[in-house]
Chain A
C-alpha cells in the first residue's frame, strides 16, 4: 500500500453501503490504479537474474507490461470520458450560472421598480393621510361649531323661557331685558358672540334682539311698534316691589362695569338715576330698547 495514503476504516463515511450498481467506467478507473500498482510492484520485485531470464523466456514480462499498458490506456480513456463529461457539466454549470445571473439582474430591476413603487405609494399615503387629517380637523371643527351653535340656541331658549315664565318679574321691563341680555352675555351665547364675527354672530344677535323685543312688547302689553314712556313705562317697577331688594342689588352689581357715557341706557336702568334721563329717549318702542341694551352689553368699549 502506498505510504501517502490515509488508512480507511469501516466507519468512514465514504464506505457506507453500495446500494446501486456503480458505473463500470468509474469502477474501472478507480480500481485499475490498484491493479496497475500490483503489477508494477511485482515487476520491480522480479529483478533477479533467474527471474528476469524466466520472465523473458516465457514472455511473462511482456504480458505483465501489456497488462499495465492496457490498464493505463483504459484509465486514460476513462479519464477522457470523465473529463469530457465534467467539461460538459462545467459548460452546463456555466450556462446555469449565466441564467442565474440573468435572473438576479432581472430581479434587481424588478426590486428597483418595486422600491420605487413603494416610495411613490408611501408619498401618496402620506398625502392621503394629510388630506384625511385636514378633513378630520375640518369635521371636528364643524362638529364643534354645530355643537356650539346648538348650545347658543339652547342658551337663548333657556334665557327667554325664563323671562317668559316670569322669573324676572321683580324688575321693570327694561330691567328684565337687561337681566336677560346680561345672562346671555355670561353663557354660551356670550362666548360665541364675543369671540366670533360674521353673519352667524349677527344672526344670533338679531335673534336675541327680536326675542327681547317680542318679550318686552308682551310685558308692556303693547305692540312692538308702539312707543312707551321710558321712565314711566319701560322703567316702571311692578307694584309692591322694593327697589332696594336683593334682586335689584344684584342687577346693580352686574352693571357695575358699565359707564354712563358708554352704556347710558344700562346705567339708567340699573341705577334709575332721574338726573340722567336726559341722555335716554323719553319715548321708545320695544325694539329700540332691546337693540340698545344688546348693543351696550356686547360692546367691548362699554366696560370700564
Chain B
C-alpha cells in the first residue's frame, strides 16, 4: 500500500490496572510496533504523558516501568481526612453500581477524599514538559465537572442506563500552555470524590473516563487519533467486557487488546474498588505480565492472518511475473522451432 502507516495508541483508564499497559507497551516495543501518537484517559493519560515526553519509545517504556515499580512499592494513595471505609466505598461507587447507594448514604460533600499530591510529585519527577513538547502528540480525555456529587450522580444514572453521561472532551496536551499541561493530565485521572477536579483553560475537569459512559467514549479516547489521521489504532482495555465497540468507527482499522483472562485480583463486594486502588506488589506485576501476554496473543492472531494473506498476494504476484517471463520464453522457443521447421 502506498499510504503511509500512522499508528495511534489508545490507553484507557482503570486505576491501578494501568500496570497492564506497561506489559502492553513492552510487548509492542518488542514486536517493533511504531507509535506515532497516543491518547489516554485517567491512568492511561498519565502513562501516555510519560511515553510522549520520552525521547524514544524504549526510553518511555523504561520510565513507565520504573514509575510502576515505585507505585507497587509505595502507593500514591494518601488520605485527605476520611476513613479507609469511606474511601473504599467512594471509589467503588464509580465502578460498582451497587456501591453507589452506599455513597449516597455516606453523605455528599464536595471535598476530595484523597490527596493527589503524591501523584503530582511523581508527575513532576517523570514528566518533563519541555520533552513533552518535542514528543509524539498526546491527547487526554477529560470530563467537564459539575461538582463531584453531581458527577457521581450522572455516572449513577448512566450506569443504570437511565441517562448517559455527556461525552468527554479531548485535549491535545502539547497545544495547551505549559502550566496547564500538568493539570490536564491530573484532571484526566481525577476520579470524582477521590481526587479534586482540575482547572484547564478556565474549566473544571475530572476523570475523562466518565464521559459517554454507556459506550466508554471517554474512557477509550480514540476519536482524537482518528481526527489526527491515524490509519491503524491499537486500543487497550483495562476491564473485561468493555462496552466500547469498534463497530462505532467503521472507517478505521482498529486492533483491540482485550484482557484474555479476568482482570480482577480482589474478590468480594468491594473487589472492584480494591483493584482500582490496588497499588501493591502482589497485583501490579501480575497485571504487567497479563498485558504483555495478551498483547502477544492479540497481535499474534492478527499478524498471522495478515502474513498469510500477504504470502498469498506475494505468491500471486510472483506467479504473474513468472508467467510473463514464461510467455517471453515461449515466443523465443516458437520462433526457433519455426525456423527449424523451415
* Chain A residues within CB distance 8 Å of chain B: 1, 5, 7-10, 12, 14-24, 26-35, 37-39, 41-43, 45, 50, 54, 57-60, 63-64, 67, 70-71, 74, 89, 92, 96, 99, 103, 106-107, 110, 113-114, 117
Contacts and interface: CB of A to CB of B under 8 A. Distances in A.
Interface in B238-288: 240-243, 245-247, 252-256, 258-262
Given A27-B254, A35-B258, A22 B306 contact: yes
A34 B257 CA distance: 8
B5 A17 contact: no
Contacts of A10: 27, 30-31, 296
Give the secondary structure class of B's interface: helix
A117 B301 contact: no
B105 interface: no
A35 B220 CA distance: 15
B253 A16 contact: no
B299 interface: yes
A113 to B, nearest CB: 7
Given A38-B258, A70-B247, A22 B312 contact: no
B203 interface: no
Closest 5 CB pairs of A and B: A42-B241, A17-B32, A8-B300, A1-B260, A58-B161
Contacts of B5: 18-21
Nearest to A9: B296
21 contacts: A7-B296, A12-B300, A14-B303, A15-B296, A16-B32, A17-B33, A18-B33, A18-B306, A20-B1, A27-B232, A30-B305, A34-B256, A35-B256, A38-B259, A54-B98, A60-B243, A89-B316, A92-B316, A96-B319, A96-B323, A113-B337
Nearest to B215: A63
Given A22-B232, A29-B305, A35 B246 contact: yes
Contacts of A39: 241
Contact of B293 (A7, A21, A24, A57): A7
A38 B241 contact: yes
**Chain A residues touching B, majority SS:** helix
A113 B297 CA distance: 59
Chain A CB within 10 Å — which of B1, B161, B294, B312 has the most? B161
Category for how many chain B residues contact A: 35 or more
B303 A31 contact: no
Contacts of A19: 5
Contact of B297 (A8, A26, A92): A8
Given A42-B240, A89-B316, A57 B160 contact: yes
Contacts of A50: 98
B302 A22 contact: yes
B298 interface: yes
Contacts of B293: 1, 7
A113 B159 CA distance: 83
Contacts of B262: 45
- Most central of A16, A22, A37, A74 by chain B CB within 10 Å: A22
A35 B249 CA distance: 15
A5 B159 CA distance: 35
A89 B312 contact: yes
B85 interface: no
Interface in B26-64: 27, 30-33
B125 to A, nearest CB: 30
Contact of B253 (A27, A42, A110): A27
A233 B102 CA distance: 176
B312 A31 contact: no
A21 B300 CA distance: 16
A42 B300 CA distance: 23
